Amino acid sequence: MSGLARTVRLPDGTDVPAFGLGTWRMGERRQIRQAEVAALKAGLDLGVRLVDTAEMYGEGEAESIVGEAIAGRRDETYIVSKVYPHNASRAGVVAACERSLKRLKTDRLDLYLLHWRGSHKLSDTVAGFEALMAAGKIRAWGVSNLDVEDMDELHAVKGGKACATNQVLYNLARRGIEAGLLAWSRKHGMPVMAYSPLDQARVPGAPGLAAVAKRHGATPAQIMLAWAARHPDAIVIPKATRLEHLRANIAAMELKLTAEDLADLDRAFPPPKRRAALEML
């Protein structure tokens, strides 16, 4: 199966693309807006089917950019957005979603996430998500940046077990979720969405990474992305605003890392030995 054809199954049985386009920091500079729209359109033209955004990104402007990019091809695109924690009351979730739908110029979201834990009760947030699902405004809901204890609390809430995914920081240089959260997610059959799989373009210069890249005739960034995407239950959402970077990211999904590669990368970037507070950017 080719890289872009790979899918990850949500707990409800829905298969979603394992690779998507991130939009964090889009919509912050008006002078490059059309370039950002063009980058998303190029990704769709190349076969990418998932786009991840949030009401926080550019204070809604990223969603507007996505809406422009998917015009005329909504049905072929899996759209993920997120609600601010301060909007995550029962009624606030519904109102925030309506605003996001308007900016995206669509009648539904495929997946709607709580962006991070805030002051509103999880039970209220879940109730808001359930109301949106009943109205056909969202097809699934999940969370982002929630750690093990938060997930336990969420699962104890009425309806909380319907959570589809947890979007978290995960890359070769930031492996913290391997010390607890990843195992929790697998126990409950819940995939993770790895944001910043290229660590915000801060590709480490470790010799071990360079050696693996050379072995595959690839770049260190491509190895980082292939490493994060190696899990059958992980969705990766790197951002690219230049066509060459977009093509490189897509090509990385075809790389198959060997046991030798993974051992070399473990030596260069040791897995965590104990749990620590969940990192987020």
What is the set of active-site residues? 57
Please, which residues have CB within 8 angstroms of residue 173's CB and are 6 or more apart in sequence? 199, 202, 204, 269
145: Cβ contacts below 8 Å, ≥ 6 apart: 115, 116, 117, 167, 168, 169, 278, 280
d(CA 121, CA 157): 10
Q: What is the distance between the alpha carbons of residues 281 and 279, in angstroms, rounded to a whole number? A: 7
Q: Distance between CA 196 and CA 33 in Å, rounded?
A: 21
**Among the listed residues 198, 248, 207, the one whose alpha carbon sits nearest the alpha carbon of residue 228:** 198
Residue 129 has which token pair? 């998500």
CA distance 51 to 48: 8
| Residue 195: strand pairing partners | 169
Q: Which segments of 83-147 does DSSP mark as H helices, in order?
A: 90-104, 122-134
Alpha carbon distance 225, 215 (integer Å):
16
33-45 helix and 243-252 helix, angle to the nearest 10 degrees:
40
Task: Return all residues near 31 (Cβ < 8 A) that are at least 6 apart.
Answer: none
Measured CA to CA, the distance from residue 170 to residue 148 in angstroms comes to 15
